[in-house]
Amino acid sequence: MLQAELPGARAEVESLASLQHAETPLKRFVALYAESRLALVAAGVLVLIVAAAIAAPWLAPQNPYDLQQLDVLDARLPPGEKSAAGMTFWLGSDAQGRDMLSAILYGLRISIGVGAIATVAAVAIGLSLGLVAAYAGGRTESLVMRVVDLQLSFPSILIALVLLAVVGQGVDKIIVALITVQWAYYARTVRSSALVERNKEYVEAARCLRLSSARILFRHIMPNCLPPLIVVATVQVAHAIALEATLSFLGLGLPITQPSLGLLIANGFSYMLSGKYWISFYPGVALLVTIMAINLVADQLRDVLNPRLAR
Amino acid sequence: MLTYILRRLAASAVLLLVMSLLVFVGVYAIGNPVDLLISPEADQKEIERVIAALGLDKPLWQQYLIFLERALSGDLGRSFAFHTPAIDLILSRMPATLELALAAMLIAIAAGIPLGLYAGLKPDSLIAKSIMAGSIFGFSLPTFWVGLMLIMLFSVHLGWLPSTGRGETVALFGVQWSIFTWDGLRHLAMPAFNLALFKLSLLIRLTRASTCEALLQDYVKFARAKGLRMRRVVGVHVLKNIMIPIVTVIGLEFGSVLAFSIVTETIFAWPGMGKLLIDSIQVLDRPVVVAYLLVIVIVFVFINLLVDLVYSALDPRVRLAPGHAAG
Amino acid sequence: MALRFLVAVLVLVFAVCSHAQQIAIGLGGDVTSIDPHYHNLTPNNNIADHIFGTLVQKDERQRPKPGLAESWRPIDDLTWEFKLRKGVKFHDGSDFTAEDVAFSIERTGKVVASPGPFTIYTKQVTESVIVDPWTIRLKSSAPYPNMAIDISTVQIVSKKAAANATTDDFNSGKAAIGAGPYKLVRYVRGDRIELARNDAYWGPKPHWQHVTFRVLTSDPSRVAALLAGDVQAIENIPTADMARLAKDPNFAIFRTVSNRVIYLHMDSNRDNSPFVTDKAGKPMQRNPLKDARVRHAMSKAINRAAIVDRVMEGLAIPAGQLLPDGMFGTNPNVKPDAYDPDGAKKLLAEAGYPDGFGLTIHTPNNRYVNDEQIAQAVAQMLTRVGIQTKVEAMPSNIFFSRGSKLDFSFMLVGWGADTGEVSSPLKSLLATYSKEKGMGAANRGRYSNPKMDAVLAQALATVDDGKREKLLQQAVEIAMTDVGVITTHFQVNTWAVRKGIAYTPRTDERTHAFGFVPVKQ
């Protein structure tokens, strides 16, 4: 699972790149994006965070999943204290004697991994269903869209909550829950842009050339539906991470032995009033910075990729 | 119009059926509520007797059919944990959640739209930039974390507001409301703000985006060219046009506020139906979970319908097509 | 309209200010009903103690003392006689008599759809004979030494008020007529219970005129409510906040050992246990947990002091048996195993597992104080001596169902002995599982020791307290030296109270409003 997250994140970056070099060079996109210095900083921070998450096993002073390395006697030490074995807890330790810095790095891995995998899978499902709906029309379309409408009229947290209450905890289960609550956004986004594209001249032209439906769909219509999808997807990664954190906080998300950021915060939640702020403060900051960086990047992407705001 | 409403209702009924089946199968798969509820000192025969008394000894399909049959006559069963009719239990908790959600929505609207409008009209000013930065911040903060920070600051350190729970209530139309007492308002302030924060940010961003877009439209340019004052352009033309997406979002988001109140209610010990749901899931109180879903589905159908109606009233171009929903 | 609200608000403000002798108490568990026979649940029983009352009461150490009955004695092997208190009045002014007792005992079996009936305590009573209005005889078909203890759980309701009452009638207050020190004013489910003092109460007059129990199940919220002054007392201080509250001069802390023990249950019966593997993760030929030496080694590998000190932050006491010292049937000779990792490794080698093996510990994550943290600490400690232990935590709704289906090999569970007697855990946890005999219902490791079973059966049929205690002590020794379960610690019950108020801490986790008294400063 942890290996799988890497291609996920990369695929997103790649699709983003391939999108642009088709017509105008990547340079134009980069130049447009770089217009906002804040967005540039956010992108930099995001790259750093993802890199840190990927490199967690090499960066972290301790493997927080290996019970042999943990000692309950080191529990709840404030930042800067040394463990019994002589290691320094730069960000303190939690109730298990886990080094918070290591736990945050590994937690980022899980949070971002879960968010990215769920989003990529949901994009794939939403994209295909949205395209098919738009292209096929008729019964198929109304069936797909009925389901989409129905699902979007319910808050994601509620659907995820019921689903998790029914299937239980676990990384795989929370990913399934996140996919279930997300795919409809993409299906709707893709369908509406595909509907616009379908009636454009180039599709007309392709039809005249007797190209196969599948070819028209995937080679011609799909690339043009991607920009809005990317914007939605970026925002949704942030949403997925936040949703996972909330579900974990409510006790319905991930198992405690491999804590995500949300679960780390939830664990430290009970220590807030007693002044042991570091157990939930630092994971909270990590979560905040991650979500904020993604949101800022998404914001700028929206401006850059929105044709109506083209300057 | 009527066909449209009927179709909507039919779709929701199907959804409800699917959800209730899911809950039945899920609860069955997870475990037996009796294992949790009964005193650990009970012996095997006692446990079996209780299982039979709650009707959990029958095969699952039979339990589900019994549920359907009773549900059709308006009986959703009694809570395993409280023995009260599940629907009564939900309805008794509903006012608390409703007033929390309404207060949160009110805060979000009252602050969000003016701030967003300002940020959209003067996008390059420092204030606008701080508003937008703040909105991103509000967007990204985890609700549960903010809730505890609020308690720490306003109740523990400053001692201004009560930390948790719901304040004094007064009866109005036979329902207990706390928004009409001072004590109630004091209790409501923090949870409502906590719940509003995310929607507030959302509304700021949405209003700003709509305003920016509206300003680029020809009718605004035309109105300006005609020599109308900016205040009138904004107050009449811009505001009217940006209201359409905003109303839609407010309507839809109200539902999500209802759902997200689960988190806020848990932190602030607010006796609403979201907290009831979490508690019921924890003891596998199936009738309550199913009844909660039913109530929520009905509320949502109602909200969505209302949104569509307002939408078509605001924008004459929109026709409620019987085929599929607007949007 | 607005004016009327203003007036209402002012009236409320004054109403709040004018009561001096009132107290608000934060509860850690939800009260699911006011019907005292509906669900055998500590928070419910606690509220019932205020409104109703029992024949036999229990003091803060769970020793029986006279309540609505002034005395009781066995008149033959199969009959107990209770002499009732005279002149006791219910809240509605009617007299309390033996009729009400017979009615209450009978009612425990008649509550519709009770998820936790009190019949576990009344099923052995075969007949109630009313001798006169203040004398009642309870008969059983076999000698029943625990009659008084069991009857101490049955709350007495008024026959007149509760004759055809449903659980809903109790919740609405209509049937909630008892003879207890407090009357029910209002029950708002999931939020609060308001009580007013019963000035006609037969016992000592409680200090507080008006009591509000607030349901604050979230730990930080409960502490915050205390810190903010919304409540004057809370039960169940979260371990995380203990140090802070102890330092704060505005609060006083009261604590005592709990009757709840946290223990580790091992599958000591099956040859192939689902979560016992060799180090490579493959299933094993034989189940090492069947070997008492392995179980003993595991017990020695656990550093109980570290769990108490670091995980429980001092709010626990290391446990070597099923109930804390001094409670009925505990054996003073049985002590917790000392922490001895080398000894543990030696024992493992002796048993033929010099390299250890693999194991998974299953634990609930929302049931006991710090449950999943304890499980993780145990896993760390076992891993150190070579038993590579994984942790799987889950909500209690899944945990108990799976545990009862014998899905686990090694699990963390807790046991609170409501009766205050060691026979309770022996019967349920360690006796050989038998549906016919009603034994071992919670024996999820299916531990079985015929010697222990025999001694226990004898104890359960001995009416003489002295002899019964000896037999129970013997049973405890047999089970604990065989390591039927590994006990880790007893929880500590805690209350934090605003300075100037004192509380008498109780082993049975109950929070009695009449236990709080102002102290002179």
Distance from CA of B241 to the nearest CA of C (A): 36
Instruction: Return the minimum-mean-pLDDT range out of A89-93, A307-311, C495-499.
Output: A307-311
Please report the pLDDT score of residue C513 as a whole number. 95
- DSSP state letters, B301-322: HHHHHHHHHHHHHH-TT----S
Regarding beta strands C182-188 and C358-364, do their DSSP bridges make them parallel or antiparallel, or are they unpaired?
unpaired
The Cα–Cα gap between A263 and A261 comes to 5
pLDDT in tens, C160-216: 999 999 999 999 999 999 999 999 999 988 889 999 999 999 999 999 999 999 998
Residue B215 has pLDDT above 60, yes or no: yes
**Helix, strand, coil % (nearest 5) of chain B?**
75, 0, 25
Q: Would B64 be classed as within a structural domain? A: no
Mean pLDDT of C464-470: 92
Q: Which span out of A170-184, B15-29, B240-254, C462-476 was modeled with the highest average pLDDT?
A: C462-476
Residue C378 has pLDDT above 90, yes or no: yes
Nearest CA in chain A to C227: A273
**Which residues fall within 8 angstroms of residue C188, CB to CB, at 6 or more apart?**
B271
B neighbours by CB contacts (3+ pairs under 8 Å): A, C
Give domain limits for chain A: 54-62+90-309
Nearest CA in chain A to C305: A73
Contacts of B45 in chain C (CB under 8 A): 435, 438
Asked if C365 lies within 8 A of A276 by C-beta distance, the reply is no
Supply the pTM of this predicted model: 0.81
The β-bridge partners of C125 are C140
- Count the Cβ atoms, other than its own, within 10 Å of residue A44: 12
Q: Would B151 be classed as within a structural domain? A: yes
Contacts of C391 in chain A (CB under 8 A): 67, 256-257
Asked if B259 lies within 8 A of A292 by C-beta distance, the reply is no
pLDDT in tens, B160-171: 887 777 777 777
Q: Is A166 on the interface with C (CB under 8 A)?
A: no
Contacts of C30 in chain B (CB under 8 A): 279
Q: At what angle do helices A261-269 and A100-136 cross, to 10 degrees?
A: 130
Q: Is A64 on the interface with C (CB under 8 A)?
A: no
Residue A51 has pLDDT above 50, yes or no: yes
> Looking at C222-250, which runs of residues are DSSP E strands?
233-235
Contact indicator for B27, A168 with CB cutoff of 8 Å: no
- CATH fold of A54-62+90-309 reads MetI-like fold (1.10.3720)
Regarding beta strands C69-76 and C64-66, do their DSSP bridges make them parallel or antiparallel, or are they unpaired?
unpaired
Distance from CA of B295 to the nearest CA of A (A): 12
The shortest CB-CB distance from B136 to any of A158, A280, A296 is to A296
Residue B314 has pLDDT above 90, yes or no: no
pLDDT in tens, C12-61: 444 444 446 899 999 998 899 999 999 999 999 999 999 999 999 999 88
Q: Would B191 be classed as within a structural domain? A: yes
pLDDT in tens, B271-287: 888 888 888 888 888 88
Contacts of C306 in chain A (CB under 8 A): 72-73
Contacts of C373 in chain A (CB under 8 A): 95-96
Contacts of B289 in chain A (CB under 8 A): 162, 165
Instruction: Return the minimum-mean-pLDDT range out of A6-10, B237-241, C21-25, C247-251.
Output: A6-10
Q: What is the DSSP letter of C205?
A: P
Band the pLDDT of B319: cuts 50, 70, 90.
Answer: low
Asked if C241 lies within 8 A of A70 by C-beta distance, the reply is no
The Cα–Cα gap between B145 and A291 comes to 14
Give the containing element (helix H, strand E) for C339. none
Task: Write phi, then psi, for C80 (nearest 5 degrees).
Answer: -115, 140
Q: Is B144 on the interface with C (CB under 8 A)?
A: no
Asked if B276 lies within 8 A of C418 by C-beta distance, the reply is no
Q: Would B280 be classed as within a structural domain? A: yes
A258 vs C447: which has the higher pLDDT: C447
The Cα–Cα gap between C27 and C25 comes to 6
Regarding beta strands C192-197 and B170-172, do their DSSP bridges make them parallel or antiparallel, or are they unpaired?
unpaired
Contacts of A245 in chain B (CB under 8 A): 142
Band the pLDDT of A88: cuts 50, 70, 90.
Answer: confident
For an interface test with B, give the residue of C1, C7, C9, C44 to mutate (most B CBs within 10 A): C9
For an interface test with A, give the residue of C373, C374, C384, C398 to mutate (most A CBs within 10 A): C373
- Residue B284 CA to chain centroid, in angstroms? 22
For C197, the token pair is 């003092």
Mean per-residue pLDDT over chain B, rounded: 81
Q: Is C30 on the interface with B (CB under 8 A)?
A: yes
Give the containing element (helix H, strand E) for C421. none
User: On the CB side of B255, how many CA atoms lie within 13 Å of its CA?
Assistant: 28
Regarding beta strands C388-394 and C69-76, do their DSSP bridges make them parallel or antiparallel, or are they unpaired?
unpaired
- Count the Cβ atoms, other than its own, within 10 Å of residue C120: 24
Contact indicator for A238, A298 with CB cutoff of 8 Å: yes
Please report the pLDDT score of residue C300 as a whole number. 96
**Which residues fall within 8 angstroms of residue C2, CB to CB, at 6 or more apart?**
none
The Cα–Cα gap between C485 and C487 comes to 6
For C9, the token pair is 């608000």
Q: Would B122 be classed as within a structural domain? A: yes
The Cα–Cα gap between C163 and B183 comes to 40
Residue A20 has pLDDT above 60, yes or no: no
Asked if C390 lies within 8 A of A257 by C-beta distance, the reply is yes
Residue A308 has pLDDT above 60, yes or no: no
For C155, the token pair is 């709350």
Residue with tokens 């019967």: C427
Please report the pLDDT score of residue A77 as a whole number. 82
Asked if B83 lies within 8 A of C428 by C-beta distance, the reply is no
Residue A199 has pLDDT above 70, yes or no: yes
Distance from CA of C338 to the nearest CA of B (A): 30
Please report the pLDDT score of residue B58 as a whole number. 87
**Helix, strand, coil % (nearest 5) of chain A?**
75, 0, 25
Q: What is the DSSP letter of B175?
A: E
The Cα–Cα gap between A207 and A216 comes to 8
At A263, which amino acid appears? Answer: L
Mean per-residue pLDDT over chain C, rounded: 91
Q: Is A138 on the interface with C (CB under 8 A)?
A: no
* Distance (Å) of CA C447 to CA C272, C437, C450: 15, 16, 10
| Long-range contacts (CB closer than 8 Å, 24 or more residues apart) made by A2-11 | A2/A109, A2/A113, A4/A113, A4/A117, A5/A109, A5/A112, A5/A113, A5/A116, A5/A117, A6/A54, A8/A113, A8/A116, A8/A117, A8/A119, A8/A120, A9/A50, A9/A112, A9/A116, A11/A120
Asked if C379 lies within 8 A of A72 by C-beta distance, the reply is no
Band the pLDDT of A202: cuts 50, 70, 90.
Answer: confident
Mean pLDDT of C325-337: 91
Asked if C240 lies within 8 A of A257 by C-beta distance, the reply is no
Asked if A67 lies within 8 A of C398 by C-beta distance, the reply is no
Contacts of C385 in chain A (CB under 8 A): none
Q: Is B41 on the interface with C (CB under 8 A)?
A: yes
Contact indicator for B108, B199 with CB cutoff of 8 Å: yes
Question: Which domain CATH number covers B296?
Answer: 1.10.3720.10
| Long-range contacts (CB closer than 8 Å, 24 or more residues apart) made by B123-127 | B123/B208, B123/B212
Band the pLDDT of C486: cuts 50, 70, 90.
Answer: very high
**Secondary structure of C357-417 as H, E, C letters:** CEEEEEEECCCCCCHHHHHHHHHHHHHHCCCEEEEEEECHHHHHHHHHCCCCCEEEEEEEC
Please report the pLDDT score of residue C487 as a whole number. 96
For an interface test with C, give the residue of B80, B151, B164, B267 to mutate (most C CBs within 10 A): B164
The Cα–Cα gap between C106 and C130 comes to 13
Q: Domain count for chain B, please give it.
A: 1
Q: What is the DSSP letter of C164?
A: T
Residue-range definition of the domain harbouring residue B184: 86-314
Q: Would B327 be classed as within a structural domain? A: no
Nearest CA in chain B to A307: B213
Please report the pLDDT score of residue C18 as a whole number. 43
Closest Cα partner for C203 from C60, C95, C73, C53? C53
Instruction: Return the minimum-mean-pLDDT range out of A25-29, A177-181, B253-257, B294-298.
Output: A25-29
Band the pLDDT of A9: cuts 50, 70, 90.
Answer: very low
Closest Cα partner for C56 from C106, C119, C104? C104
Band the pLDDT of A139: cuts 50, 70, 90.
Answer: confident
Asked if A246 lies within 8 A of B289 by C-beta distance, the reply is no
Please report the pLDDT score of residue C518 as a whole number. 93
Contacts of C232 in chain B (CB under 8 A): none
Q: Would B17 be classed as within a structural domain? A: no
Give the containing element (helix H, strand E) for C503. strand C501-503
C429 vs C221: which has the higher pLDDT: C429
The Cα–Cα gap between C395 and A248 comes to 12
Residues recorded for chain A: 311
Longest dimension (CA), chain B: 87
